[in-house]
Each structure stands twice: as C-alpha cells, then as structure tokens.
Chain A
C-alpha cells in the first residue's frame, strides 16, 4: 500500500543550530505534501506545505524541499528553538486521502 516514511525516529540538535528532518514517500502520483508538528497531548499542527509542481517553499524559519526524482521530502528549521521540540510528521495527499508517515521526534538541547 501507499506509505510515507521518515528516516530517523529521533533527532537531537543544539539550540540555535539548523535542523533537517527527512521523509521518503512511495507514491509518485501524490500531488501535495504537508509537514505537521505535534506536541504532546495535542493534534497535529500545520507547518508548511508544497505542491508537486514545486521543489522548494519557504516560510518563517522553515523550508520544505521536494525531490520528486528520488521521492524525498525534507523540512529544514533554521535556528532551532526549545519550542520546536515536538514530533514532526510528513503527509502526502493521494486520491483524496491524506496519508501520514512515521514521525521524527525533535529534541532541542539548551
């Protein structure tokens, strides 16, 4: 079946450093991708999205890169802060369904 996966279950970074969270997806027909942040006890919160006809999109302190050739998605967080500590999920939209991958837990060390 379709699946979206992340490469690392846990990423630990120093406060102020840049973070890169990776995701590999399997369905080349997916036309829309989203990164979500989930804090403990809460529902996922939208961070940034990208359509399949783009390869890069920037937001405030976050950048998403899409490489359709290798079906790879990444989320870059600049100047990581303690408030960025959470679980991050990538999701792809295929045939009306929104499919999530396994999360990466981002730990920010002071």
Chain B
C-alpha cells in the first residue's frame, strides 16, 4: 500500500487566488514528482526533486512553484490561479535505485472559475 497523500482531493477556487496543493509521503523516498493531467490525457511532468533543497522544472512549462524543505513534503503553489490552470495534479515519489517504482497519490482536481 502506497503511503503518499495529496490534499485537497477537489478544489474550486476563484481567479487570482493563491493556492497550495499539499503532497506528503511516509516512505522516506528521496525523489518526488508533480504531474499535470487533463482528463483522458497523458501525464506531463511539471516539477521534480532529488531530495531536500533540490527542485527542478519538468518538461511542461508551468507557472507553479515547488519547495522541498523536508524529505516527506513537496507542496506545489500557484501564486495567482487562472482558468487555464484547471486540471488534475498528481504527486508521486520513488526511491533512488534504478528499480524503484514511483508511487502516486490520488491527485488533486483543481477548477479555477
């Protein structure tokens, strides 16, 4: 059973608001990832981290930012939400070895109105 949690599961928020999506894992994994996924579409990597104080941008440009102050916590922040940010956001974590699979959270479905 994967121990990675995302909150909230669903969020409807007005344009211009600042939001933070939470992601926590209790597996002690060094690597963590954020993906953006539109319904029925592929997952696009927007941020990843190799460990504490490490953050990298993914392949899909995103206006969001992330931080990694603690191993278990990898929050994603949008300073000013826009309708174009409406999507599902998935957090994942994995160990460092080659054969270490990534475990996913349940996702946060964000709607910006």
Contacts and interface: CB of A to CB of B under 8 A. Distances in A.
Contacts, number: 60
B99 A51 contact: yes
Interface residues of B, number: 25
Contacts of A32: 98-99
A51 B98 contact: yes
Interface stretch (A41-49, A58-66, A72-80): A41-49
Interface in A10-56: 31-32, 34, 36, 42-46, 49, 51
Interface of B: 31, 33, 35, 40-45, 48, 50, 58-59, 90, 92, 94, 98-99, 101-107
29 contacts: A1-B59, A2-B59, A31-B98, A34-B101, A42-B106, A42-B107, A43-B90, A43-B107, A44-B43, A44-B92, A46-B101, A46-B103, A49-B99, A51-B99, A87-B40, A91-B102, A93-B98, A96-B48, A96-B50, A97-B45, A98-B92, A98-B94, A98-B102, A99-B59, A100-B42, A100-B44, A100-B45, A102-B41, A103-B41
